[in-house]
């Protein structure tokens, strides 16, 4: 085990987009059970420090692999592709059009919980489709540029979902 | 007489004494201390048999400090010098205390944290809290018959960094070794979950005297994973009392009353609230300083009407926490009620309605937090292997930085599992800019002015470059206590600036040292003796930890030379502990700490490997 291992290696998982979530959860918990700072509260300073560094590392890896967007982005980074780099902004026109429609719907639904919830469901469905596309482009076709484009679309969706979340929270 | 201690069967393999550790619930209204005795967590009572210690501190002219029931009894008589609910002022500035006008204290605006003027001088809330902790420490040491190795201190889950740091400072000031700051709902979940072998999603609704928390936890085979937490660190039973108090004034056609009457009527309001827990109405009678008689009847219906908006104020955070956890109320398997204020029938009804089930009240809501904290303290002190359970807690509020235009850039999102670290790069705004001001904030709002300011520091000596060319990497690290430290580095030149986020609001190390000195004003010797005692305890702990580690893995992970070198360092520290002075002990401890770095790294790697071994087998079976 060393800090140079990638997140997948850390949990003993294959580096694929499709992931066995139960196995990830279990590996995460089993490692935490061994290295968490609560296990070293009575230890020497060296072990305390290492325990915090390791747990921090494990938490970061787990949070990255657990979320589909972060996981895909990370897989591309492992291939040397930064899909979110400032220069990588190309988006197909039809997707941009859809974006605008959704944004208008979000603005119209301001303060309207049922409308926001309906929109949220629609966006989540679309986000799920994009995740399937990612699985196909990364795991099956290994078409990295195409995967990067899907990932950027997914990023748009996540941002919109965050905004819906904020709008719903603001109603409270 | 101190009782002989017998350890739990089959637990400690290392031949060490049972280490005395406690859990302390430092509450707004009441505080408690608990410890695991004979394998069971129990609340430790004072000599008079009281478990709850009222969190009330009274300063007297002769310098004496009275804490607890005695102080509470004098609150109405001596309101300026009797500090009630000091927890509300921890890590808070004067502008953060909106209801200051209804309190009988003389507040002093001080940078970062408000102070209180008393007959014994200006007191920081940290000092006041330390008096409560000292009392509990003395009680525990008397009950357990020895010096404490350490304490787990609980804090509301929704406490921000300033409030957490203030709590830790108070513990240090009271001479306690803080094993961990533990979130109150999480502590309650341990006590509840371990008792009931619970599995699934649980909500902990914790309404204390001055704070409200809601935590959503997932319990799976001994893992207590906090999925989301929310709350209001300025909402609690006190507010219910204040509503009743205002009603009393209104009914008596009074606008204001003197400070004595204020304290007396607040106490009456509280009694009325408590009476309504199992009676349909409460009668309030009082004679004011003016001779005016108050004689009113408060019905449960009227009380519910007065406090309806407060009850509703607790439900919004419940909704938010569920959203953050990505769950519906229907997915929650049980709702655990914590905090004395959850005895209010209307609250139980409202929570039951919200979650669609009857809340669980089978554990004493006043004691459950302290009991959970004691259970965890027992593990952290090394008395129990603790393989049975694991706590994974979170950051309650996002942590970020101020960027151009007074906007917040979040670095660590709320509900991130701790410990956690995140780094982000920033750049200069102007050509030739050689310094960068870093403003650390906490909160969910977009504007910095709506968030809590935690600290400001400057990174200087950036080489002059065109705007946007410099690369400044800012790293946030949150430790297992939920406390933040921040460092910044210009990556081209490696210029570093780093702070543990506290000097701007909390107490710097210097200030804690000064307070400690003050409290030992007449005895410099005490201070020296205390430092020596602390170094001895730390050194002894290090010897024990290292010997246990060597016994476990010394042969497999070290070659003969490495082993010999470590044995020598251990022996040197042991010698220092028997006859060395402070400097000698510290030097020997540092040397051993340094010497074990590589061994510790190998042990950690082995642990991770072992943890994964099971999964590799699973793979083979597939």
For the stretch A128-152, pLDDT in tens is 999 999 999 999 999 999 999 999 9
Tell me: the pLDDT tens digits for B240-267?
A: 999 999 999 999 988 888 888 888 999 9
Domain ranges of chain A: 7-66, 93-171
**C-alpha closest to that of B117 among B81, B77, B78:** B81
What is the rounded average pLDDT for all residues in chain B? 87
Mean pLDDT: which of A78-92, B90-104, B275-289, B502-516 is highest? B275-289
**C-alpha closest to that of B558 among B505, B500, B600:** B600
pLDDT at A115 over 80: yes
pLDDT at B102 over 80: no
Taking residues B155-162, what's their average pLDDT?
94
pLDDT at B617 over 80: no
Token look-up 């919200």 returns B354
User: Does domain A93-171 correspond to CATH entry 3.40.50.1000?
Assistant: no
For chain B, percent of residues with pLDDT exceeding 90: 57
Taking residues B36-65, what's their average pLDDT?
94
pLDDT at B503 over 50: no
For chain B, the first-to-last Cα distance in angstroms comes to 62
pLDDT tier, B134 (very low <50, low <70, confident <90, very high otherwise): very high
Domain boundaries A7-66, CATH class: mainly alpha
Contact B461, B434 (CB under 8 A): yes
pLDDT tier, A154 (very low <50, low <70, confident <90, very high otherwise): very high
Taking residues A59-73, what's their average pLDDT?
94
Angle (CA) B449-A56-B228 rounded to 5° is 55
Q: Is the CB of A56 less than 8 angstroms away from the CB of B611?
A: no
For chain B, percent of residues with pLDDT exceeding 70: 90
Question: What pLDDT shows up at residue B235?
Answer: 93
Could you write out the DSSP letters of every residue in chain A?
A: --TTS-HHHHTT--S-SS--HHHHHHHHHHHHHHH-GGGSTTS-HHHHHHHHHHHHHHHHHHHHHHSHHHHHHHHHHHTT--TTSTT-----HHHHHHHHHHHHHHHHTTT-HHHHHHHHHHHHHHHHHHHHHHHIIIIIS--HHHHHHHHHHHHHHHHHHHHHHHHHHHH-
B-contacting residues of A 1-20, CB under 8 Å?
Answer: 1-2, 11-12
Taking residues B346-372, what's their average pLDDT?
95
C-alpha span between A37 and B445 (Å, rounded): 31
Given CB atoms, is A32 within the 8 Å cutoff of chain B?
Answer: yes
pLDDT tier, B513 (very low <50, low <70, confident <90, very high otherwise): low
Q: Is the CB of A37 less than 8 angstroms away from the CB of B480?
A: yes
Question: What pLDDT shows up at residue B524?
Answer: 57
Note if B95 is an active site residue: no
pLDDT at B12 over 60: no
B-contacting residues of A 54-83, CB under 8 Å?
Answer: 54-56, 59-60, 62-63
Q: What is the count of residue pairs from A and B with beta carbons less than 8 Å apart?
A: 131
Buried b (16+ CB within 10 A) or exposed e, B238-249: bbbbbbbbebbb
Question: What pLDDT shows up at residue B136?
Answer: 97
**C-alpha closest to that of B214 among B106, B61, B400, B347:** B347
pLDDT at B608 over 70: yes
Q: What is the ipTM of this complex?
A: 0.88
| Alpha helices (runs of H) in B33-159, residue ranges in sequence order | 69-73, 125-144
Q: At what angle do helices B259-275 and B237-251 cross, to 10 degrees?
A: 110
C-alpha span between B118 and B126 (Å, rounded): 14
What distance in Å separates residue A126's CA from the closest CA in chain B? 18
What distance in Å separates residue B221's CA from the closest CA in chain A? 10
SS3 B352: helix
Surface-to-core class of residue B362, CB atoms within 10 Å of its CB (0-12 exposed, 13-18 middle, 19+ buried) = exposed
Contact B182, B152 (CB under 8 A): yes
Question: What pLDDT shows up at residue A27?
Answer: 92
Given CB atoms, is A162 within the 8 Å cutoff of chain B?
Answer: no
pLDDT at B502 over 60: no
pLDDT at B36 over 80: yes
Question: What pLDDT shows up at residue B142?
Answer: 95
């Amino acid at each position: 085990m060393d800090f140079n291992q990638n997140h997948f290696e850390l949990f003993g998982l294959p580096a694929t987009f499709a992931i066995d979530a139960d196995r990830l959860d279990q590996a995460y918990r089993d490692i935490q059970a061994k290295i968490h700072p609560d296990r070293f509260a009575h230890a020497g300073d060296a072990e305390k420090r290492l325990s915090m560094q390791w747990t921090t590392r494990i938490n970061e890896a787990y949070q990255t692999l657990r979320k589909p967007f972060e996981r895909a982005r990370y897989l591309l980074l492992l291939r040397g592709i930064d899909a979110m780099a400032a220069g990588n902004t190309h988006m197909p026109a039809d997707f941009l059009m859809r974006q605008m429609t959704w944004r208008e719907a979000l603005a119209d639904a301001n303060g309207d919980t049922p409308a926001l919830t309906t929109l949220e469901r629609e966006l989540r469905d679309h986000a799920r489709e994009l995740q399937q596309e990612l699985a196909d482009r990364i795991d099956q076709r290994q078409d990295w540029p195409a995967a990067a484009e899907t990932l950027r679309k997914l990023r748009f969706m996540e941002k919109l979902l965050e905004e819906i979340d904020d709008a719903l929270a603001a109603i409270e | 007489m101190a009782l002989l201690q017998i350890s739990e069967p089959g637990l400690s393999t290392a031949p060490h004494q049972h280490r005395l550790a406690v859990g302390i619930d430092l509450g707004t209204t009441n505080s408690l201390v608990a410890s695991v005795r004979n394998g069971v967590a129990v609340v430790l009572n004072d000599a008079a048999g009281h478990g709850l210690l009222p969190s009330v501190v009274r300063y007297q002219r002769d310098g004496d400090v009275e804490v607890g029931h005695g102080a509470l009894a004098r609150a109405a008589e001596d309101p300026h010098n009797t500090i009630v609910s000091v927890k509300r002022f921890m890590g808070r500035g004067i502008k953060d205390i909106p209801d200051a006008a209804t309190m009988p204290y003389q507040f002093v605006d001080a940078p970062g944290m408000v102070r209180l003027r008393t007959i014994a001088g200006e007191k920081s809330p940290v000092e006041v809290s330390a008096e409560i902790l000292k009392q509990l420490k003395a009680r525990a040491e008397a009950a357990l018959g020895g010096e404490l190795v350490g304490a787990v201190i609980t804090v509301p889950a929704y406490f921000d960094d300033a409030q957490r740091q203030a709590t830790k400072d108070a513990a240090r000031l009271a001479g306690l070794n803080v094993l961990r700051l533990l979130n109150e709902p999480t502590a309650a979940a341990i006590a509840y979950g371990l008792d009931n072998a619970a599995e699934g999603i649980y909500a902990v609704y914790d309404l204390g005297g001055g704070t409200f928390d809601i935590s959503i936890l997932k319990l799976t085979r001994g893992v207590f994973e906090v999925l989301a937490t929310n709350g209001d660190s300025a909402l609690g039973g006190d507010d219910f009392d204040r509503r009743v108090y205002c009603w009393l004034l209104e009914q008596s056609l009074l606008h204001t009353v003197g400070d004595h009457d204020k304290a007396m009527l607040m106490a009456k309001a509280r009694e009325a609230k408590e009476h309504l827990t199992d009676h349909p109405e409460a009668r309030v009678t009082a004679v004011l300083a003016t001779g005016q008689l108050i004689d009113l009847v408060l019905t449960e219906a009227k009380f519910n009407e007065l406090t309806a908006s407060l009850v509703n104020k607790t439900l919004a955070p419940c909704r938010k926490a569920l959203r953050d956890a990505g769950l519906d109320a229907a997915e929650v398997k049980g709702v655990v009620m914590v905090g004395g204020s959850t005895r209010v029938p209307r609250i139980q009804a409202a929570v039951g309605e919200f979650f669609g089930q009857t809340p669980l009240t089978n554990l004493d809501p006043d004691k459950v937090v302290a009991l959970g904290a004691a259970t965890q303290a027992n593990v952290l002190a090394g008395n129990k292997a603790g393989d049975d359970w694991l706590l994974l807690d979170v950051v309650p509020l996002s942590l970020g930085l101020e960027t151009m235009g007074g906007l917040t850039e979040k670095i660590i999102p709320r509900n991130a599992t701790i410990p956690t670290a995140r780094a982000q790069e920033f750049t200069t705004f102007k050509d030739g800019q050689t310094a960068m001001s870093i403003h650390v904030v906490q909160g969910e709002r977009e504007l910095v002015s709506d968030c809590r300011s935690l600290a400001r520091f400057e990174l200087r000596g950036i080489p002059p470059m065109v705007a946007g060319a410099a690369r400044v990497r800012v790293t946030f690290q949150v430790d297992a206590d939920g406390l933040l430290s921040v460092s910044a580095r210009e990556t081209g030149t490696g210029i570093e600036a780093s702070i543990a986020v506290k000097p701007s609001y909390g107490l710097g190390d210097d200030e804690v040292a000064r307070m400690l000195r003050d409290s030992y004003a007449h005895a410099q010797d005490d201070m020296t003796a205390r430092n020596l005692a602390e170094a001895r305890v730390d050194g002894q702990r290090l010897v024990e930890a290292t010997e246990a580690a060597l016994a476990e893995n010394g042969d497999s992970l070290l070659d003969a030379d490495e082993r010999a070198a470590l044995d020598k360092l251990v022996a040197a520290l042991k010698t220092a502990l028997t006859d060395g002075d402070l400097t000698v002990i510290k030097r020997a401890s540092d040397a051993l700490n340094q010497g074990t770095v590589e061994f510790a790294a190998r042990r950690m790697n082995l642990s991770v490997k072992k943890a994964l071994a099971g999964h590799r087998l699973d793979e083979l079976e597939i």
